[in-house]
Chain A
Amino acid sequence: MNVEQIVFYFFAALTIIAAIGVITVKNAVQAVLCLVLTFFSAAVLWMLLEAEFLAITLILVYVGAVMVLFLFVVMMLDVDYAALKQGFTRYLPLGLFTALALFAVIYWVVRSKYFGSDVIPEPAKHGAEYSNVKELGRLLYTEYFYAFEIAGVILLVAIVAAISLTFRGRRERRGQSVPGQHKVSKEDRLRVIKMDAEKAPSDELEQTADQNDEQQRGNS
C-alpha cells in the first residue's frame, strides 16, 4: 500500500464512523460535531481526487459557516433526551422498514453496475502544473455560464424569500436610529442661555442662619 491508499482508507473509515456517530450519539451537540468530522474527512477524500478547490470550499462553507450556525441553534435548545428515546421499540419495525427501503433504492441507483471501477475509468493523474482552480473557473464561466448564473439567482431568491417569511415588520422597540444620530447637530442638543450673573450664595446663607438663630433665641 502506498501513502495515498493509507490516507484514503483512513479517512474513508473515519467518514463512515463519524457518519454513524451522527445518528447514534445521545447529545445533539455531539451529533453536530460528528457531522463536522464527516465533512472534514470527506474533504480530505476530495483532496485525494485532486479537487482541492472543492475540498477547501467544502470546509469553508459547510464546516466554517453552515455547521457553526447549526451548532449555534442546537446549543440553545433545551432538549429532553429521555423523552426523545421513548417509543423507540414501538416505532422500530416501521423505522427498520423505511431504512431498508431507502437503502434498497439508493443501492439500486448507486451500484457497481453503474459506478464500478470497470465502468468509470480511474481519473487521470495530473502533473504539478495542473491547476484545478483555473480549470473549474474556466468551465464555470464559459461552458456552464448560464447554469452557474441561474443557480446564483435562485439562491438569491431563496435568501429574499427566507427573510420576507421571517421578517415581521418593525415592532415597537427602543432601537437606535443611526441616520437620526448622524443628523443631529450641536444646536439640537445644546442651548446657550444668556442671563445675569447670580448673586453670591454665601451671603444669603449667612443671613438665613442669623435669622434662625434669632428665632430660636426668641422662642427660648
Chain B
Amino acid sequence: MIDLLLNTLFIVLKIALILLPLILAVAYTTYAERKLIGYMQLRIGPNRVGPKGWLQPIADVVKLLMKEVIIPSGANKVLFLLAPILFIAPSFAAWAVVPFDAELVLANTDVGLLYILAMTSIGVYGVIIAGWASNSKYALLGSLRSASQIVSYEIAMGFALVAVLMASGSMNLGEIVEAQSGGFWTWFFIPLLPILVVYWISGVAETNRAPFDVPEGESEIVAGFHVEYAGMAFALFFLAEYANMILISVLTALFFFGGWLNPFQGIPYLEAVTDWIPGTLWLLLKAAFFLFGMIWLRATFPRYRYDQIMRLGWKVFIPVTVIWLIVLALMIKGGVGPWFSGRGGF
C-alpha cells in the first residue's frame, strides 16, 4: 500500500513538473505574442508592468482571478461550468506522451500517436458545450463553426500522422524521433514536405488560431463560443488555446524536425562543438520557431472566409495527403536514402 502511494505521488510530481512550466510558458507566450505583433505593427506592446512589461502576464492572471464568473440567465449551469474544464483537460492530458528527451517522457506508450490525435480531437467538446450551455446565439454559432472546422481538419491531420507513422514505422513518439537520427538531412521534413505543410496548417486550424479563427471571429460573432465567459472560466479557455498552440509546435518539431536530436549530428567539427547542448533545449528551440510562426501568421493574414476554410480542408489537404501517402509508400519500397535506406524491396 505504501508502495502504491509513493508511486502515485511520484507520478503526480512528474505531472506537476510538466504542467507548471507549461502554464508559465503559456503566460509568456501571450506576452511574446503581444510584443511581437506590436513590433510587427510598429507599436511597442505592453511595457508598463515591471521592467519592459515582463510582469504583464502575471498582472493579467491576477486580474482574471479576481473577476467574477458570471453565469448568464437561462444557461445550463452545470454544463456551462463544465465546458472550460472539458476544453482544458485534453489539452493538458496530451502532454503525457510527449518525450522531451530520449528518456524524459511521462508515458512511453506504443499508441502515442493515436493518443495525441484522440486528445486533440476531444477538446472540441469543451467548445461545443460552451456554445450550447451559454444560451446565446453568438456562442452557439461559434461552437457550430468550431465543430465543423475541427472535424474537417481532423481528417487531414490524421492522414498526415499516417504518413509519419509509415515513414518511422512506429506509433511511439520516442521511436519516431529516433528513426530520424543522423543529422538534419535525415529528418522527415524533406521526404514529407507536403505532409509537413498540411500538418502545420491543420494544426493552426485545429487550435482556432488566425487565419482560421472564425469560431471566435470578433468582427462577426463578438467572441464566438466564449462570449458569455468571464474571469477564470474565460482564462481556462485562453490557457487551453495557448497550451494547444505550444503542443502543436512541439509535435511538429518531434514528427518532422528530429525532436531533441542535434541538427549537426554526423558533421565532424560542428557535432563536437554543439555536443554540450541538452536535447530538451534543441526541442524547445525548434518548437519556439513554430510558435513564432503561428504568431507571425496572425499578424500577417486576414481571416479566411468560412466556405474557403472548408474547401481548403476537404478539397485541397485531403487529396494532397492521400497522393503523398502513395508517393511515400513508393519511396519506402524503393529504399530512397538516407531516410528509408535498408527498408526497401518488394
A residues 129-171 near B (Cβ < 8 Å) are 131-134
Q: Which of A63, A69, A132 is close to B151, meaning CB atoms less than 8 Å apart?
A: A69
Report yes or no: B121 in contact with A71, Cβ–Cβ below 8 A.
no
Report yes or no: B4 in contact with A59, Cβ–Cβ below 8 A.
no
The answer to whether B248 has its CB under 8 Å from any CB of chain A is no
Q: Which of A29, A56, A134 is close to B118, meaning CB atoms less than 8 Å apart?
A: A56
Interface residues contributed by chain A, number (CB under 8 Å): 27
Q: Which of B117, B128, B151 is close to A75, meaning CB atoms less than 8 Å apart?
A: B128
The answer to whether B125 has its CB under 8 Å from any CB of chain A is yes
Which chain A positions have C-beta within 8 A of B147? 68-69, 71-72
Q: Give the distance to chain A from B152, nearest Cβ to Cβ, in Å.
A: 11
B residues 147-164 near A (Cβ < 8 Å) are 147-148, 150-151, 154
Q: Give the distance to chain B from A167, nearest Cβ to Cβ, in Å.
A: 14
Report yes or no: A56 in contact with B154, Cβ–Cβ below 8 A.
no
Interface size class of chain B, counting residues whose CB lies under 8 Å from the partner chain? 20 to 34
Which chain A positions have C-beta within 8 A of B171? 133
Which chain A positions have C-beta within 8 A of B140? 75
Complexed CA–CA distance, A178 and B140 (Å): 30
The answer to whether A64 has its CB under 8 Å from any CB of chain B is yes
Given the contacts A60-B121, A75-B132, A131 and B110 also touching, CB distance less than 8 Å: yes
Report yes or no: A60 in contact with B114, Cβ–Cβ below 8 A.
yes
Report yes or no: B125 in contact with A53, Cβ–Cβ below 8 A.
no
The answer to whether A19 has its CB under 8 Å from any CB of chain B is no
Which chain B positions have C-beta within 8 A of A53? 111, 114
Scoring A3, A52, A60, A75 by chain B CB atoms within 10 A of each residue's CB, the highest score goes to A60
Report yes or no: A68 in contact with B151, Cβ–Cβ below 8 A.
yes
Which chain A positions have C-beta within 8 A of B150? 68
Given the contacts A56-B118, A64-B122, A71-B147, A33 and B154 also touching, CB distance less than 8 Å: no
Report yes or no: A36 in contact with B125, Cβ–Cβ below 8 A.
yes
* A 1-36 to B, binary, CB cutoff 8 A, 1 in contact else 0: 001000000000000000000000000011001001
The answer to whether A120 has its CB under 8 Å from any CB of chain B is no
Complexed CA–CA distance, A76 and B128 (Å): 12
The answer to whether A65 has its CB under 8 Å from any CB of chain B is yes
The answer to whether B109 has its CB under 8 Å from any CB of chain A is yes
Complexed CA–CA distance, A68 and B129 (Å): 11
A residues 117-134 near B (Cβ < 8 Å) are 131-134
The answer to whether A212 has its CB under 8 Å from any CB of chain B is no
Closest to B124 in A: A68
Report yes or no: B144 in contact with A52, Cβ–Cβ below 8 A.
no
Complexed CA–CA distance, A72 and B148 (Å): 8
The answer to whether B115 has its CB under 8 Å from any CB of chain A is yes
Complexed CA–CA distance, A68 and B154 (Å): 12
Complexed CA–CA distance, A155 and B278 (Å): 48
Closest to A57 in B: B114
A residues 61-117 near B (Cβ < 8 Å) are 63-65, 68-69, 71-72, 75-76
Given the contacts A68-B151, A133-B171, A56 and B144 also touching, CB distance less than 8 Å: no
Given the contacts A60-B118, A72-B144, A65 and B151 also touching, CB distance less than 8 Å: yes
The answer to whether B311 has its CB under 8 Å from any CB of chain A is yes
The 6 A-B residue pairs whose C-beta atoms are closest, nearest first, are A64-B121, A60-B118, A59-B118, A56-B114, A131-B110, A72-B147
Jot down 19 A-B pairs with beta carbons below 8 A, ordered by A: A3-B4, A56-B111, A56-B115, A57-B114, A59-B122, A60-B118, A63-B122, A64-B117, A64-B121, A65-B154, A68-B124, A69-B147, A69-B151, A72-B148, A76-B144, A131-B110, A132-B110, A133-B110, A133-B171
